[in-house]
Amino acid sequence: MKKNIARIVLSGFIAFSSLIILIVRVLIGFDMFTGRTTPMDMEYLKYFTSLSNFYNGFVFLYVFILSLIYVKHPDFRFSKQDRIISLSATSSVIITFLVTILFLNFSLPNPEVLYQNEILFFHIINPLLTAVIFVFFMPGEKISLKESLLGMIPLVLYAVFYSIFVLTGVWTDHYNFTFGGNYWAIAIALPSVLLSSFLVNWGLSSLSNKLSKN
């Protein structure tokens, strides 16, 4: 019962904070850094930080609703499909967290912006809370190594489009993976990010499987 309550509280926080940011930052278009308003600010959606966290918000809104429905069922267990979808959302925001603290934190001239206003939630708070929910509070069917690869799909899709858009000049390299226009660096950055995603998905699913079994 206590785990169900904890999952409701944490998943509700993640879901509603993500939806509020979606409404305020994208639909209303209020930029908390500049104070300007640009309704339907689709530019905000070109960042994996935004896309991963909004996806995560909707996935854990579903987890929140399921948890409310089965709050009085202490033995409730999530289906394998639910756990794989939750894994894909969790790993996506954890990659956002890792890129922030291990790469952007050192490559940007003003890294303090990574921890201000709404992106503090998207870079640090929500990813860590999401990992806690998935690992400790989502018991269910075991996810195999092969099945854990499905968790990579959101990042793989974004990485492919990001590389194409940067190389063709549609987007600037806003994550600075080319280190100032050295496009050959994508051949190193892309496999590194994908390998990191594999390790994150494998690690999260392994930990969750072990705790769920216990």
**pLDDT for residue 181:** 75
Confidence of residue 179 (pLDDT cuts 50, 70, 90): confident
Q: Check if the beta carbon of residue 120 is closer than 8 Å to that of residue 94.
A: no
Could you give the number of structural domains in the chain?
Answer: 1
**pLDDT for residue 182:** 81
**pLDDT for residue 175:** 87
Distance CA 122, CA 209 (A): 26
**pLDDT for residue 195:** 93
- Does the pLDDT value for residue 212 go beyond 80? no
Q: What is the DSSP letter of 96?
A: H
The residue with greater pLDDT, 180 or 191, is 191
**pLDDT for residue 197:** 94
The C-alpha angle 97, 12, 87, rounded to 5 degrees, equals: 45
Give φ, ψ of 77 to 5 degrees.
-130, 140
**pLDDT for residue 4:** 87
- Does the pLDDT value for residue 9 go beyond 60? yes
Q: Domain of 105?
A: 2-213
The string of DSSP codes covering 44-67 is GGGSHHHHHHHHHHHHHHHHHHHH
Q: What's the predicted TM-score (pTM) here?
A: 0.94
Provide the 3-class DSSP secondary structure of residue 30. Answer: strand
